[in-house]
Amino acid sequence: MPSGRAGLADCGLEKKNYQRELEKLIEENRKNNRVPTLLLHACCAPCSSYCLEYLAQYFKITVFYYNPNISPQQEYKKRVEELKRFLGRQGELMGGKETSYPIQFLEGRYDPERFYETVRGMETLPEGGERCFACYELRLREAAEHAQGYDYFTTTLSISPHKNAQKLNEIGERVGREYGISYLPSDFKKKNGYRRSCELSEEYGLYRQNYCGCVFSRREK
């Protein structure tokens, strides 16, 4: 199976600039005085920090925490509670900006068996490849199901330099078509997004985990 770290240039394909697509979409909505609704799948508080600082100026956001891949359960609970704590300080995060909109929170079901069933047979594959892509799709599908009635859905995952933004967007767009919900194009690590998330994590004293979440990433950390 191909590695997730292989570049599209190897296949003769040109990478899309998803950050540029997002900026164009935001500008179009602003010109039309439109504030769309967005279901934002979140993996953790640190990754959500910059995404929310950026997006809450332009969207009415519900943060959706669905991560059955996280192991052990106490780690899952620690991450979700840290995200809730961070969202409780959203007034500080938004800096009192009149253009920012309140952020809602929704927690999905913690069902690790669903994750293990999804990646069955991929346990020995390297981190960043097909197993991770299957995990992306598992979480994006759940987000799409909960995004019925929203204008868009997307995920914070692309802020990580270890996540394949091209693959995330490809999966998100495909899943969005299946569910009839527009996937918001994004590559949040662009425009120094990842660096800003590190700054915000330090500013708010956020817990930053040292592995992605699953037992396999923990093994390879």
Q: pLDDT tens digit string along 168-216?
A: 999 999 999 999 999 999 999 999 999 999 999 999 999 998 888 998 8
Within-domain flag for 29: yes
**What φ, ψ does residue 153 adopt, rounded to 5°?**
-140, 155
Within-domain flag for 2: no
- Torsion from C-alpha of 36, 182, 120, 117, nearest 10 degrees: 60
Within-domain flag for 180: yes
Radius of gyration of the chain (CA): 17
What share of the chain in percent tops pLDDT 70?
Answer: 89
Within-domain flag for 4: no
With cut-offs at 50, 70 and 90, classify the pLDDT of residue 218: confident
Query: What pLDDT is attached to residue 97?
Result: 57
Write the DSSP symbol of residue 5: T
- Count of domains forming the chain: 1
Please state, rounded to an integer, the average pLDDT across all residues of the chain: 90
- Res. 162: pLDDT tops 60: yes
With cut-offs at 50, 70 and 90, classify the pLDDT of residue 93: low
pLDDT in tens, 64-77: 999 999 999 999 99
Domain range for residue 64?
17-220
**Could you give the CA distance from residue 128 to residue 24 in angstroms, rounded to a whole number?**
29
Which amino acid, one-letter code, is at 129? G
Identify the CATH number of the domain in which residue 92 sits.
3.40.50.620
**What φ, ψ does residue 15 adopt, rounded to 5°?**
-70, 140
**Could you give the CA distance from residue 46 to residue 89 in angstroms, rounded to a whole number?**
13
